[in-house]
Amino acid sequence: MKTKTFTSELIETIISRLNDYKGTTNYMCDLSSILFEGENINGSVLYNTYQTKEFIKENFNLFGDLVEYVKDNMNMVLNPFSEPEKAHVILLLEASQSILSKLHTIDKFWNDEKELTPKLIKQLTKELNALSIDEEDLF
């Protein structure tokens, strides 16, 4: 039995959120921020600090990669132990951006505004389902 990984669960969430935003027009480069705008605004993914800390423990290596990534690319020091919910939100935003940027359709229309039509959502869903990405390759 294959257990779900953070990446596979995130892909499922992205697909679900794409359908939630059907009919909206967005820049493809901003799609990750749009899909997870609520978490970014509220500053939490799980709305429970204890559960967030447990998630960080379970995904320790992933957060280690994230800490290095934000230090190198955002010139920011991130400490998941002192700011767990902030770190979780940043993981969600950066990991979803990484996943979406690997899709051919997103790459093709990166700087374009596109309506999330049923046809475009179907294409993105197909590409997401075909995507083979290891968590070590997110950042």
Q: Residues 65-89: pLDDT tens digits?
A: 999 999 999 999 999 999 999 999 9
Alpha-carbon distances of 136 from 49, 64, 111, 122, 124, rounded to whole Å: 25, 10, 27, 27, 23
Domain locations in the chain as residue ranges: 25-137
Mean pLDDT of 118-127: 98
Q: pLDDT band at residue 136, thresholds of 50, 70 and 90?
A: confident
Average pLDDT of the segment spanning 44-50: 96
Per-residue model confidence (pLDDT) at position 134: 80
Q: What is the pTM of this model?
A: 0.91
pLDDT per residue as tens digits for the range 12-30: 999 999 999 999 999 999 9
